[in-house]
Amino acid sequence: MKLSRFAAFTASLALAASAALLGSAPAQAADSAAVFGYVALGDSYSSGVGAGSYDSASGNCKRSTKAYPVLWKNAHSPGSFAFTACSGARTGDVTAGQLGPLNADTDLVSITIGGNDAGFSDVMTTCVLQSESTCLSRIAQAKAYVDTTLPGKLDAVYDAIRAKAPNARVVVLGYPRFYKLNGTCTTGLSETERAAINGASDHLNAATDKRARDHGFAFASVAGAFTGHEICSGSAWLHSVNWLNIGESYHPTAPGQSGGYLPVFSSAA
């Protein structure tokens, strides 16, 4: 089974560490690393929007050298690495344009997806610009979409990943809660709106968790990692609304990628 090669790669990291102490490099460690393949899929939370240092060749996909997939690749040196995550991606964009690098030799896949399908960008815009009642109504619409429509779209993505990479370990990562309640923010959204937005994030994560696990994939929640680093925390790893660079609003900063997403993914992988 291909997962044995995944285990061999993990073991090779320990062998390489031992080799460094002994002044030698076992061939097994080098061979395992040479054949190990990792593919990073998904939306802006995987491409690294908000972290800066974007690869100009990635264009509007805004793939950052500070995104967690690149940080993991730099730390573990897999034999092959493909980074197709793209800002703004929905489930259909993943199946239509991101799965090319997957094959039977792919060992590890990461993905964040579903937030754009559920309209979370529009939710945030609505809540910032309109009344509390309109905000809460838009959140309810998004949650209804998560209940009725999103599961089928996630199934389509997960089925496609498994069909193209039948032997890979697939890690589906969630989204953080955006706000620390009763925090440092004194203007902007009401506490009722902030709590509702956090609840909608939890709702999306719960639905994604179920679909991922039903496909035999690992689900990795980042909510705990971002606790104490939400907007209004005084030590935020998330951008608040930024009218000068609206696309980075409500996305992880570089510390959010390295301190939030990376350790959670590393543990799950």
Active site residues: 44, 251
3-class SS at 229? coil
Contact 229, 220 (CB under 8 A): no
CB 159 within 8 A of CB 135: no
Contact 262, 63 (CB under 8 A): no
Helix (H, G, I), strand (E, B) or coil at 220: strand
- Alpha-carbon distance 241 to 249, whole Å? 5
The backbone torsions φ and ψ at residue 105, rounded to the nearest 5 degrees and listed phi first, read -95, 0
With a CB cutoff of 8 Å and minimum separation 6, the contacts of 207 are 114, 146, 147, 150, 151, 154
101 φ, ψ to 5°? -75, -15
Give yes or no for a contact between 59 and 93, defined as CB atoms under 8 angstroms apart.
no
CB within 8 A of 219, min separation 6: which ones?
A: 171, 172, 173, 174, 208, 209, 212, 213
